[in-house]
Amino acid sequence: MSRHPQPPNRHPQPPNRHESRGASDTESSGNESPTAAVEKPAALIARALAKDYGDGPALHPLDLRVEEHERVALIGHNGSGKTTFLRMATGLLEPASGTVTVFGEAPGSMDARRRLSYLADTPTFYEDLSVWEHLEYTARLHGRSDWEQRAADLLGQLGIYERADDLPTRFSRGLKQKAAIAMAFIRPFDLMLVDEPFVGLDAEGKEALLELFDEASSGGAALLVATHELGFVTTTQRTIALRDGALIFDGPSTQAEARGLVAVEGAAETES
């Protein structure tokens, strides 16, 4: 018998933490002065953000704004600049020029890290920690004390509850990805940056990840997901496309537009 909490059979969506705040705002609006409202910073703002590794620009100067609660897909062929942009936005990579902020704070700062969760394209783990210990470490690092049931729920939803005490460094690519997904969602966040999360996942894993994205969105978080998975692209409000480090599209994610952009991507890869 497992020593960990049991995951429930169903995984209800978390309550929208912005509903109660909206109600109180409505009740108190009559007492507010016209100058009381203060514009909140966007979830992410890039201004002329650029990167050059020495053999040519990896990312041309990019101006980009992702609002709170927005759900955005980022697409582009390999080498288009997606990962470079995400790593600069998380503070893991220094830009050559320009700036990027997370809720008005510098990436990598304590305030930015507190509000940002990052799911990288290549999962990394500590050699001597089990999946459960990784989840405990991540949750406690970000101040979450009620993490155990949430950890059990995530592992159950992803289908790896029975592997909680195993070392993720010994997992297959798909199981490593599931463990990394659980780590990204165990902590609180207001913005999640994600790099090719569907790679290596089976059909059940992809479905579970889409459910987790839905839960995060309904809870008020902003999502920026780099992916080629059309099933996710068509669920977003907005699609951003990069090619050879340059922005080529930024607009609504209607199905026709998303399919066209993915097709163009494939053609660009074949020709290069």
Per-residue pLDDT tens for 25-34? 444 444 544 5
Higher pLDDT, residue 216 or 259: 216
Domain presence at residue 252? yes
- Is there a contact between 59 and 243 (Cβ–Cβ < 8 Å)? no
Higher pLDDT, residue 97 or 265: 97
Q: What is the distance between the alpha carbons of residues 50 and 245, in angstroms, rounded to a whole number? A: 9
Domain presence at residue 135? yes
In angstroms, the Cα distances linking 144 to 182, 183, 200 are: 14, 12, 29
Domain presence at residue 201? yes
Average pLDDT, the chain: 86
Domain presence at residue 6? no
Structure tokens at 69: 């609660």
Angle at which helices 148-158 and 203-218 cross, to 10°: 140
Domain presence at residue 60? yes
DSSP 196-244: STTTT--HHHHHHHHHHHHHHHHTT-EEEEE---HHHHTTSSEEEEEET
Domain presence at residue 14? no
Domain presence at residue 165? yes
Q: Does the predicted model carry a pTM greater than 0.85?
A: no
Residue-level pLDDT at 262: 52
Residue 260: closest CA among 248, 272, 271:
248
Domain count, the chain: 1
Q: Domain range for residue 101?
A: 39-271
Work out the pLDDT band at 260, boundaries 50, 70, 90: low
Domain presence at residue 126? yes
Q: What is the distance between the alpha carbons of residues 57 and 49, in angstroms, rounded to a whole number? A: 11
Which CATH number do you get for residue 85? 3.40.50.300
Q: What is the distance between the alpha carbons of residues 56 and 58, in angstroms, rounded to a whole number? A: 6
